[in-house]
Amino acid sequence: MMKLASAALLFCFVAAGVAPASAHVLLERKEAVPGSSYKAVLTVSHSCEDSPTVKLRVKIPEGFIAAKPMAKPGWTIETVKGPYARSYSYLHGMTIKDGVREIVWSGKLPGDFYDEFVFVGFVADTLVPGETLYFPTEQICEKGSFNWAEIPAPGQSAHALKEPAPALRLVSGGKAVFRVGAIVVREPVLRAPPPGARVAGGYMMVTNTGKEPDRLTGGTLEGAGRFEIHEMSMTDNVMRMRPLKDGLVIPPGETVTLQPGGIHVMGLDLGRSYAAGQTVKGTLVFEKAGKVDIEYAVRPIGAEGGGHDHKH
């Protein structure tokens, strides 16, 4: 039976175009979207020259937060906790500053079998599409070990590495993302104004991935005579709106959300109409990062992500 299982596993590797001798510790799902949960499945498909694997240690990279391993029958699990390099926004407005930085499984995996080691976590919204997270993993056997921790240099293929770290590539997930310098703009949305309206509100998420604050100072909107950054506040039970003449500060390592009922951008003196389903070109200007071209997705008033009817 042991030989039959080994032969079946060999067939799976050959069918996938991977030879057992060159198999690595890999993440089953290799892409994730910033600002979302992710289930990591590490696949161990070989041993150290037929010596059973007895321990697997994975280091959790910065930006992968709230990691939690899944219980695994026959294996003991240890976690090493510690502070993050910075605080992160988590679910339901929660802010977290520390969490699991390392997970260690101890048990026994014979060389004739493969197994999966599972943990879940959250990809911080300060990370951006195009980046890659690496999970250095040490595989310890009764005789020998592998240290899957090599990270490719810029322009280098991971296939050129002897013991590459499991990699998770960050993608946009079909959401609009624009970048200039350290600034990342996600999902710009423009509310379709009522017929004859002369103003339109825009919303988005702006992330500063740098180490210094930057400032949104202005921009343009196709078809608008003027562009302003506005803040809404409640005073004496009256909603009031005022322009931010000094712009909007984007702190380092943080995401600022422009949303209905709060800070947002405004196109004024409109010379055209905007219909739901259209895209509208515009720009944003940042004090340090400079100008970035963006596109707003036009949505009807009341749709998710907006819905405040602007009146001046």
Q: Quick: pLDDT tens for 269-302.
A: 999 999 999 999 999 999 999 999 999 999 987 6
Which of 134, 155, 170 is the last residue before a domain boundary?
A: 170
pLDDT at 306 over 70: no
Residue 85 DSSP code: E
pLDDT for 303 equals: 59
- For 51, half-sphere exposure in the C-beta direction (CA atoms, 13 angstrom radius) is 12
pLDDT band of residue 311 (cuts 50, 70, 90) is very low
Does residue 241 sit in the same domain as residue 288?
A: yes
CATH number at residue 164: 2.60.40.2230
Provide the pLDDT for residue 23. Answer: 66
Domains held by the chain: number: 2
Amino acid type, 78:
E
* CA distances in angstroms from 310 to 36, 62, 249, listed in the order given: 31, 40, 23
Does 32 score more than 50 pLDDT?
Answer: yes
Q: Verify that 118 and 220 share a domain, yes or no.
A: no
Residue pLDDT, tens place only, 205-261: 999 988 899 999 999 999 999 999 999 876 777 778 889 999 999 999 888 999 988
Contacts of 43 (CB under 8 A, 6+ apart): 25, 26, 27, 28, 114, 115, 116
Same domain, residue pair 78 and 164: yes
pLDDT score for 310:
41
* 147 and 217 inside one domain: no
Q: 215 with 272, same domain?
A: yes
Residues 182 and 285 occupy one common structural domain: yes
Q: Establish if 3 belongs to a structural domain.
A: no
Q: What pLDDT sits at residue 30?
A: 96
pLDDT band at 15 (very low <50, low <70, confident <90, very high): very low
161/181 same-domain check: no
Does the pLDDT at position 3 exceed 70? Answer: no
In terms of domains, do 74 and 202 share one? no
Please state, in angstroms and as integers, the Cα–Cα distance from residue 199 to each residue in 217, 239, 310, following that order. 19, 17, 7
311 domain-assigned = no
Give residue 237's pLDDT.
74
Residue 281 is part of which domain span?
177-299
Of 189, 197, 187, 188, the C-alpha closest to 309 is 197
For 118-175, how does the pLDDT look when each residue is reduced to its tens digit (9 = 90+)? 999 999 988 888 899 999 999 999 999 999 999 999 999 988 999 999 999 999 888 8
**Do residues 278 and 139 both lie within one domain?**
no
User: In this structure, is residue 190 part of a structural domain?
Assistant: yes
CA distances from 179 to 38, 186, 192, 197 (A): 24, 9, 25, 31
- Give the end of a domain, one of 126, 153, 170: 170
- Whether residue 93 has pLDDT greater than 80: no
Q: Return the pLDDT at 301.
A: 74
12 has a pLDDT exceeding 50? no
Asked whether residue 184 falls in the same domain as residue 93, the answer is: no
Say which CATH number the domain at 238 has.
2.60.40.1890
Among 115, 148, 170, identify where a domain stops. Answer: 170
